[in-house]
Amino acid sequence: MLNDLQRETLTLPPSPLQEIFDERVTEAGLRLLVKRDDLLAPAPGDPWCGNKWRKLKYNLLHAQEQGFDTLISFGGAHSNHLAALAGAGRWLGFRTVGIVRGEPIASPTLERAEADGMELHFVSRREFSRLLSEELPRAWEVKYPRHYLLPMGGSNSLALSGCAELAGEIINQLGDAPTTVAVSCGTGGTLAGLVLGLRGRSRVLGVAALKGDFLDREVQHLLQAAEAEEHEGWEIINDYHFGGFAKYSPELLDFIRWFQDRHAIQLEPLYTGKLFFGLYDLMAKGYFAPGHTVVAVHTGGLQGLAGFETRFQVKV
Ligand SMILES: *Cc1c(COP(=O)(O)O)cnc(C)c1O
């Protein structure tokens, strides 16, 4: 059974919807609003936040109802998903296990996950792919008899249901459906959830954070698995990944600093920096018709900033 505090962590009030103003937005003739899911967390700075809070919400309720006591999932050494899972486990009293791809390396993300009680298993890339696609080894089944397994990035149908709630919140806060809702894409789960929730009332624009044309197929697949009625009205733009996941350029970092200066909203270079960089570039190119309202989802991810700065020896 969950106590009241635990229940509260699963029913947070809507994050703010904040309109932002600057000359570039004015020039494009748009309204631009930011859905501040970076502020969506059971406590400020908690790694269980942003879109990872939404993606885990119904998975955690399901695991709790089904009597699972252990949550197991997969990720890289800088995975926001694993950090969030560890945080959620600490709040809700689940044991958490992270299967990490590659050799152990110094990572503030994994240190935090361990501090939040996560058990880490480092496996080779080959072993990692095998574990992702097959069942867990017998020994693990014995060690964690009542475990609930979450896919890499946490994207499954229950994750989509959590992200679908963004739609109602945005429409309520704005008083109408915006023309476009824009979001950064890793696995595409958050975008698929938006499509599910918006049911065609707004266009959904995804900006891919990594290279690979697998995303369109993946989103279709997720929508089918969730038995979504609406499969149309979304698009993924692959022009702003800066060469791939965790790749960046000085221009991207400059943009992030400009945005922070101008709007006092912190972005990070893996996901949200690329989203807003892309949106501002598309605005300048006349991609959005004047008079349109664009809501950009700030999916959070700020826990990853320290890891990024350590890894690349830069200050964002
Ligand atoms: C994980 C993550 C994403 C990607 O979400 P998907 O549902 O995998 O597409 C986007 N933004 C942030 C900040 C994230 O941590």
pLDDT at 200: 95
pLDDT at 213: 84
pLDDT at 230: 75
- Residue 94, burial from CB neighbour count under 10 angstroms (0-12, 13-18, 19+): buried
pLDDT at 277: 98
Is ligand 1 within 6 A of the CB of residue 51?
A: yes
Nearest partner of 32 among 311, 298, 301, judged by Cα? 298
3-state SS, residue 223: helix
Is ligand 1 within 6 A of the CB of residue 301?
A: yes
Pocket test for ligand 1, best of 40, 46, 55, 80 (most atoms within 8 A of CB): 80
Is ligand 1 within 6 A of the CB of residue 15?
A: no
pLDDT at 158: 98
Low-confidence ranges of the chain (pLDDT < 50): none
pLDDT at 231: 80
pLDDT at 247: 96
Query: Rounded to two decimals, what is the model's pTM?
Result: 0.97
pLDDT tens profile 49-83? 999 999 999 999 999 999 999 999 999 999 999 99
pLDDT tens profile 17-57? 999 999 999 999 999 999 999 999 999 999 999 999 999 99
- Sheet with strand 147-149: strands edge to edge: 118-123, 95-101, 70-75, 147-149
Q: Tell me, what amino acid is at 313?
A: Q
pLDDT at 212: 77
Nearest partner of 191 among 289, 23, 26, 54, judged by Cα? 54
**Residue nearest ligand 1's atom 15 by CA:** 301
HSE value, Cβ hemisphere, 13 Å, CA-based, for 106: 6
> In angstroms, what is the span from residue 183 Cα to ligand 1's centroid?
9
